[in-house]
Structure 1
Amino acid sequence: MVDRLNHSGWTGTAAGHAQARIQFLGTELQSAKQELDLVSKALAKAAEQFAQAQAHLVYALDDAKTAKLNVAPDGTITWDKEPTSANYAGAGAETTAIAISNRITAALNEAAHADQEISARLNHFASNASNGTGLDAATIAKDLAAQTGREQVPPAGTDPAGVKKWWDGLTDTEQQKFIQDHPDQIGNLDGVPAIARDKANRINLQRGKQDLQRQFDGLGPEPKKYLNVADTNGGPVENPDYTVWKKKHDDLEDKLKGVKSIEARLIAKVDDDHPPTFLLGFDTNGHGHAIIAANNPDTADNVSTYVPGTGARVGGSLHSDIERSDLMVAAANKANKKAGDPSTTSSITWVGYDAPQSIIPEAADDKYAKNAEDKLHRFENGLHATHQGKIANNTILAHSYGTTTVGYTMRDKGLPVDNVVLIASPGAGVEHAKDLGIDPSRVYAAQSEGDSIGWADAADPKGMAKNIRDYYAEIWGVGSYYTGVDANGVHVGGIDTDNHMIHGRQTTVPEFGAHILPTNPKGDHSDYWNDDSPTLPAMGEVIAGKPVS
């Protein structure tokens, strides 16, 4: 009709009104068509969800029949307990009955969720139809956007609170479909609950392992290491093909080692030393990334994130970093038990950033810390978005260069944590604990006298000269003396121990203002988690929210 009018040659006031009205009606009809398409999709999705719930129920009932269990219409399960009877269900009938009852309940809950979802959506469309908004282009645009949201994963970098809202708006079936179809996105998306991320990342882990193994097997035989020529000094010349092959070989071998470490922890028997494990992130990009939680951070009362430093990757010492989370959970549990507190604890090993892989020159560069800021900030906010209720005590704990990463993030982005623990820090990018954006009394630091991190002196000439002066002042007993700090913050008496590291003021000097944790004086850079270390129980007390003894 619009085309007919436009080509009719009819002009004038009446023609103008008629054409405007017909065009308006065309727009309304197009909106109505789009709205009805959405109704159709909603009904089709509901039918699929009901069919899946029904299938789950039927499978449970079939298994019950096979196990000689009787399921009543109200879901009650009974069985023949007489061993001499032909219908005897066996000694393990009760355990089987409980498992099948749980499956029946899950199927019914699945159907109820689908019913609530389709009811809500149809009520929305019916309301649009009755009040006329269903013919409005702006309303249709919102409905189409909502539908798109149900079909697409939010892009990486989306605010975790928005991701959680999106996830909660999906049905169980839709959530499972996203996990199966897009595990790489769901598994690494902050704002998705821990259980779902774990399911997705276990898929990612196996796919990543297969891909790494395929690349490793495809490397071919090791090329000849040296060419049949000599350099200007008469020495051997390394074959470029060997150099490339060796680099790829070692990288793939290292990552496969890391994957095996993760696998071993995921399948370890759960006991006091090995809490349930959740894989919250995994990929093999670059040096690889992995986020592993000991206990579910969405349900634990106290949640701690551990950020390792130089060398952190999928491979290397990843197994040791994972063990440290287990040790910190155990230490927190001991602190809680001592206080008669039944609170639970989750400790997360966060290798979610590209850490420096060498002390010189990479660990001297702060670009790794700067590049990690958004990732760490988003992850910590994601923990709060997915936690069931408020986290009672939230701690960020870091070691070595990890403290630089944490310090930079707290300084530039802020982190929603109650405590920060800086272990063996080469500097956190700030001059004072208060610059981290939380109460300085909740900032803790530790550095053993025997820790080689003490060699990470300041790179700027002024700081380096100050360190050298203080070093010799301490050895010879001369220099600037002080007995404390006066009201104006000026040192009076004694030797000035203020010291600057490569990435800022040393976190254990009085001028930094942190609460100092006890250490083993002879301990080296990685000994803070050893059995004889007084730092480990102190870390546990901080994580558990208990006074440090």
Structure 2
Amino acid sequence: MSAGWSTVRRWDREPVEAASQALLGVEDRLLSLDDEVRGSATKQWFGLAAEGARVELTGIREELEDRVTEVTAVRRALAEAADAIHGVQNAVAAVERFAHANGLRISDNGMVSDVEGAGKRYATQHDADVADAERRALVQECVTRIDETVRKAAEIDRDLCRVLRDGVLAGRLAATDAASLTAAQQVGYVFAEDGQYAPPSGGPDGTGTAAQNAGWWAALSDVEREAVIYNHPEWIGNRDGVPAWARDRANRLLLPQLSASVDQQISVLEAQREYRRQQELDKLLTTGQGGNYGDVDDPVLYQDIDAKLRVLREQKAALATVTTLAGKPDHHVLGLDLSHGRPQAIVAVGDVDAAQHVAVFTPGLGSSVAGMTGYDDHMRELQLRASRMAYGESVATVTWIGYQSPQVEPGSLISGNSVALSGAASHGGHDLAEFYRGINASRADDPDLTALGHSYGSTTTGYALQEQNTGVDRAAFFGSPGLGVETVDELNVPSGTASYAEAKWDPVGDLDRFGADPTTMEGMKQLQTGAATAPYGTDYSGTRLNDVTMHASYLNDGSTSQYNLATIVANRPDATIAGANVGVTDQPWWWWGPWNA
């Protein structure tokens, strides 16, 4: 790289901007000569002197064209460099704020050390391990942000060198074929045009880590960010580490484009299907041997086309749902992905970039983007409940269907994405962990982050929380077939911050399919799901709360389980109602007691 941290942190756009402005004046003066040069014609003058004058004027005109091309190219290159340097200055300031906020020190040569974490004591070894991993990750994130800032600086340097050294000094900007000085100006303008600063391509899926993406975004100027959103919304719509507001704007631009593309593909396939049917019909009429036993409407004839149509129609339904949700007040689309087997989407209620409390909910078996509206309604209700309890602090909730959740359909139990297997939860858990990291990396402050998981989504959440440095402060699971762990300490959250709710008659909660039953885990807080009265002295003092039963009602508005989840999202442990939860296989004798009526 052309410059290290010590140099880059002293970069100043003002001299570059001043040079660009000075060249703009030169460019204007040169262009003003166009009429004068064109008017110096020799059409009414003949002889050797006239021929000599014409040759001289042609040389002057060509020289002016070359100078205009060069001045315009350098002027534009300097203007774009000045704007890009503004982004670098912003990134340097953001890195230094990040280091200060997290107790880190950056040396002059860009080395990062942990100041605050040294010598701290923790109540348990688990908490010490979690904190140590977090501190190491913070150091690495700071290093990554520095690397992205220096990478941007190197690209600015390369772009300027291309124009100055490889263009002007190498004599590649001759514009003698230009029809006018204005045309020569356009040649220089186009030559100086640089590509947009591309995002990182690291990480297992090629979209960069959350820390890399946050560093890349921080190094963009406001002008560059707007250009990315409008010219390349696909770069950032699903990119963890980019602020929620930018992802939302990008996805809103992509929605109509994707919808039009899906509609067009459906029309083409429907036409192909009808063409094939017509062929079969013609064959039947002419030979008596068309179709399968003469049936031109036999679905076997069209199964390849119909399979593609099913996928596209699911995508169409998903896009319609997301479009509807995007139109609701205070809703934001943080993810929209049609590149997998089924559509994936992430929709937030509230300002994820600014809310003091953020909750991310991952649903399980059967969840789909097309059917996302019900989950969104629950998240809106939960946000309102939690906001009331949060001492005036703001709350945002997120429905995360950013993975291939298992479905209830023929053959699903024996597929690679089966609900009986952990593959979908394991793969989805990694992406979910990166989404958590992205929320933290995209913000200057540290939000209070809660992970919520239901059913197979709780298993996915459990896998996510086995990864280090997700930034999750608390977790609540409900109706879980297992978290992929045998003990609470395998989850990388602080001690005493994991909670579990299980409703009466919920068979899934006792499957123990993916690790130990959460009701039996030492250190797992158990939440009441039966009818209860909100504790006095809380925001819902004396309110009667409804019980929930079976597997699908944990988020019902006005229920005890919803109330408890709201207290967790709002970080109000004083208001939580604890309870001993009983499931289908837990102490069967309990079912018949009058206390359980």
TM-score by length of 2: 0.56
In structure 1, give the amino acid aligned to 2:570. Answer: A
Shift of 1:114: 9.3
Distance 1:299 1:177 in 2: 24
CA distance change for structure 1 residues 538 and 176 in 2, over 3 Å: closer, same or farther?
same
SS of equivalent residue, structure 1 residue 441: coil
Which residue does the alignment assign to 1:281? 335
Of 491, 496, 519, 2:529 maps to: 519
Shift of 1:164: 1.8
Of 266, 285, 289, 2:326 maps to: 266
Which residue does the alignment assign to 1:98? none
In structure 2, give the amino acid aligned to 1:400. Answer: S
CA distance change for structure 1 residues 184 and 449 in 2, over 3 Å: closer, same or farther?
same
Of 383, 394, 408, 1:329 maps to: 383
Of 563, 572, 575, 1:546 maps to: 572
Distance 1:343 1:314 in 2: 30
- Map residues 153-164 of structure 1 onto 2, 5 A cutoff: 153-155=199-201, 156-164=206-214
- Map residues 66-465 of structure 1 onto 2, 5 A cutoff: 143-144=154-155, 151-155=197-201, 156-220=206-270, 228-229=292-293, 239-268=299-328, 270=329, 276-285=330-339, 286-315=341-370, 317-336=371-390, 341-358=391-408, 360-361=413-414, 362-391=418-447, 393-413=448-468, 415-454=470-509, 457=511
**Structure 1 residue 506 corresponds to structure 2 residue 566:** no
CA deviation profile, 1:278-297 (whole Å, cap 9, x unmatched): 11111212201111111111
CA deviation profile, 1:303-356 (whole Å, cap 9, x unmatched): 1111111233332x22222222212211212323xxxx1100011111112222
Shift of 1:183: 0.9
SS of equivalent residue, structure 1 residue 425: coil
CA distance change for structure 1 residues 508 and 527 in 2, over 3 Å: closer, same or farther?
same
Is the CA contact 2:436–2:471 (under 8 Å) kept in the aligned structure 1? yes
Is the CA contact 1:299–1:388 (under 8 Å) kept in the aligned structure 2? no
Is the CA contact 1:407–1:428 (under 8 Å) kept in the aligned structure 2? yes
Which residue does the alignment assign to 1:81? none
Distance 1:504 1:45 in 2: 65
SS of equivalent residue, structure 1 residue 197: helix
In structure 2, give the amino acid aligned to 1:296. Answer: D
Is the CA contact 2:87–2:222 (under 8 Å) kept in the aligned structure 1? no
Distance 2:335 2:87 in 1: 34
CA distance change for structure 1 residues 152 and 328 in 2, over 3 Å: closer, same or farther?
same
Shift of 1:140: 12
Distance 2:562 2:308 in 1: 37
Shift of 1:116: 7.3
Which residue does the alignment assign to 2:189? none
Shift of 1:430: 0.8
Distance 2:551 2:19 in 1: 56
Shift of 1:207: 1.4
CA distance change for structure 1 residues 173 and 528 in 2, over 3 Å: closer, same or farther?
same
SS of equivalent residue, structure 2 residue 496: helix
In structure 1, give the amino acid aligned to 2:154. Answer: D
Is the CA contact 2:152–2:219 (under 8 Å) kept in the aligned structure 1? no
Is the CA contact 1:284–1:314 (under 8 Å) kept in the aligned structure 2? no
Shift of 1:243: 3.0
Distance 1:146 1:263 in 2: 42
CA distance change for structure 1 residues 181 and 238 in 2, over 3 Å: closer, same or farther?
same
CA distance change for structure 1 residues 381 and 162 in 2, over 3 Å: closer, same or farther?
same
Shift of 1:255: 2.2
Which residue does the alignment assign to 2:183? none
Shift of 1:452: 3.7
CA deviation profile, 1:111-132 (whole Å, cap 9, x unmatched): x99977657989xxxxxxxxxx
Distance 1:541 1:197 in 2: 29
Give the root-mean-square deviation of aligned CA atoms. Answer: 3.6
Shift of 1:167: 1.3
Distance 1:439 1:297 in 2: 22
CA distance change for structure 1 residues 183 and 424 in 2, over 3 Å: closer, same or farther?
same
Is the CA contact 2:357–2:394 (under 8 Å) kept in the aligned structure 1? yes
Is the CA contact 1:450–1:522 (under 8 Å) kept in the aligned structure 2? no
CA distance change for structure 1 residues 502 and 145 in 2, over 3 Å: closer, same or farther?
farther
Distance 2:474 2:88 in 1: 44
SS of equivalent residue, structure 2 residue 519: coil
Identity of counterpart residues, as a percentage? 27
Distance 1:423 1:326 in 2: 18
SS of equivalent residue, structure 2 residue 427: helix
SS of equivalent residue, structure 1 residue 219: helix
Shift of 1:413: 4.1
TM-score by length of 1: 0.61
SS of equivalent residue, structure 1 residue 320: helix
Report how many residues are paired: 370
Structure 1 gap segments, 5+ residues each: 1-27, 29-38, 51-111, 123-138, 231-235, 271-275, 458-500
CA distance change for structure 1 residues 162 and 342 in 2, over 3 Å: closer, same or farther?
same
SS of equivalent residue, structure 1 residue 218: helix
Is the CA contact 1:258–1:319 (under 8 Å) kept in the aligned structure 2? no
SS of equivalent residue, structure 1 residue 536: helix
CA deviation profile, 1:496-544 (whole Å, cap 9, x unmatched): xxxxx111111123x3541112224652222112235211111111000
In structure 1, give the amino acid aligned to 2:513. Answer: I
Distance 2:481 2:385 in 1: 25
CA distance change for structure 1 residues 356 and 180 in 2, over 3 Å: closer, same or farther?
same
CA distance change for structure 1 residues 113 and 266 in 2, over 3 Å: closer, same or farther?
farther
Distance 1:363 1:308 in 2: 13
In structure 1, give the amino acid aligned to 2:362. Answer: V
Distance 1:198 1:140 in 2: 26
Distance 1:300 1:513 in 2: 29
CA deviation profile, 1:138-185 (whole Å, cap 9, x unmatched): x99973476579621222442322322221221111111111121111
SS of equivalent residue, structure 1 residue 214: helix
Shift of 1:385: 1.1
Distance 1:146 1:541 in 2: 52
Shift of 1:228: 4.1
Distance 2:357 2:501 in 1: 21
CA deviation profile, 1:367-387 (whole Å, cap 9, x unmatched): 112212332222111111112
Structure 2 gap segments, 5+ residues each: 3-12, 25-78, 90-149, 160-194, 281-289, 531-546, 578-597
CA deviation profile, 1:396-445 (whole Å, cap 9, x unmatched): 10111111111112224453211111111111011122221223421111
CA distance change for structure 1 residues 162 and 140 in 2, over 3 Å: closer, same or farther?
closer
SS of equivalent residue, structure 2 residue 342: coil
Distance 2:489 2:385 in 1: 27
CA distance change for structure 1 residues 195 and 141 in 2, over 3 Å: closer, same or farther?
closer
Distance 1:397 1:247 in 2: 34
CA distance change for structure 1 residues 121 and 386 in 2, over 3 Å: closer, same or farther?
closer
SS of equivalent residue, structure 1 residue 383: helix
Is the CA contact 1:404–1:426 (under 8 Å) kept in the aligned structure 2? yes
Distance 1:121 1:207 in 2: 32
